[in-house]
Amino acid sequence: MKTFWIVRAGTGLLLLLSSAVGIVQAAAPAPAIELKRDDQRGQLQILIDSREAIAYQYAADLDFPHYYPVRSPSGKPLTVQYPDDRHSHHRSIWVNDIVQPPNHEPISFYGIGVTEESKRTARGFRDCIRHMKFLGEDVVGGQAVIRTQATWLADFGQLRVLDEVRRLRVVPLGRGEYMLDLQFELQANYDDVSFVSEWNHYAWPYVRMHAKFVKEAGGAITNSAGGVNEQGTHEKRAFWVDCSNCVDGVTEGLAVFPVADGETPPLWLVRDYGTFGPRRPDARSGVPFVLKKGESLKQHVGILVHSGDAATGRVAERYQEFMAGLGKS
């Protein structure tokens, strides 16, 4: 099945929509946004002005659904995944963790493919997160909204562990920039689920930047408190974290804006090689806890793809505008 949508909003609509996510651009021709869904490939592309911005990967034989590629305003790949990244479990922008159902050993959805028993076999993956269906795909008012449902499966599909629903809103901002407004919710619909989630390696969600944007290539990871790179940002509290670099003469980057509970910003996982992401609130961050049957675990982040670095891209200002615009769309 292949489906296709296209919409071009008037300039006034674009400005109104951008304001709703807290990002306002100067008046310019409104970009067109399109969805191209190909069930045979298991890929849903989001195109802005006929150029791919981001794609949702959901093929049935994947270890878990994820977003790749994520392109910069000039079209460069901002993120990377295995095998271009040496870490076999890295997937650009993704969500997973280590959990334990009752009367079962811990299941590392985080480490699928790392150990021999977790690698793909002729039967597929022993444990995986499987895209189940689209709950909605809409292009209206100059934005795209994609809603999906997935299930965390163990033992070659015999055990359903968790359901996951996501809502991704993609808002073009002009000049190739765009905002990803991502919400996801894990639902314990089948039984109690213990979260093992060891501290060292978890983020909620994860982002893995392309090698051309990381410290070794001259890039910088910066947070809202002024910390720089892993030494100044890892396990530090911050309202946002940005990774930017000048590649082929063009400076661009990506910033993550977690919607924190209360006034305390989250702690972060940050690695100089380009993996970063916010932690959960402290009571459920890197410590064991139980999600009771019928309960759910939620996260909400904005991901800004921007021109310039953290300063020239006005990341701090745009974070404030994003937070002020929550609930307006």
Q: Kindly report, residue by residue over 93-105, the tens digit of the pLDDT.
A: 999 999 999 999 9
Cα–Cα dist 291/102, whole Å: 11
The reported pLDDT for the residue numbered 6 is 45
The first and second tokens of residue 178, run together, are 């765009």
Rounded Cα gap, residues 100 and 323, in angstroms: 34
Containing 300, the helix (H) or strand (E) segment is strand 296-307
| Pairing of β 296-307 and β 250-258 | antiparallel
* Alpha-carbon gap, residue 120 to 143, rounded angstroms: 37
Cβ-proximal residues to 5 (8 Å cutoff; 6+ apart), any chain = 34, 35, 137, 139, 144
Helix (H, G, I), strand (E, B) or coil at 133: strand
* Nearest partner of 305 among 296, 313, 295, judged by Cα: 313
> What's the predicted TM-score (pTM) here?
0.89
Give the residue ranges of the chain where pLDDT is below 70.
Answer: 1-28, 82-90, 112-121, 327-329
Mean pLDDT, the chain, whole residue set:
89
Burial of 174 (0-12, 13-18, 19+ CB in 10 A): buried
pLDDT at 328: 60
Residue 86: the pLDDT is 59
Q: How does 55-88 read in b/e, with b if 16+ C-beta sit within 10 Å?
A: bbbbeeebbbbbbbbbbbbeeebbbbbeeebeeb
Residue 274: partners with Cβ closer than 8 Å, 6 or more residues away: 80, 208, 209, 210, 211, 213, 214, 243
Torsional sign, CA 16, 20, 24, 29:
negative
DSSP annotation of 232: H
As a dihedral over the C-alpha atoms of residue 42, residue 46, residue 52, residue 55, rounded to 10 degrees, the angle is -40
Per-residue pLDDT, 54: 98
pLDDT attached to residue 114? 58
Helices (H), the chain: 11-20, 229-233, 315-324
Residue 324, number of CB atoms within 10 A of its CB: 12
Q: What is the pLDDT of residue 15?
A: 39
Residue 118's region, left for phi above 0, alpha for psi from -120 to 50, else beta, is alpha
* Residues pairing with 99 in the sheet: 107, 195
Report the relative pairing of strands 143-154 and 128-140 from DSSP bridges: antiparallel
Fold designation for 2-324: Beta-galactosidase; Chain A, domain 5 (2.70.98)
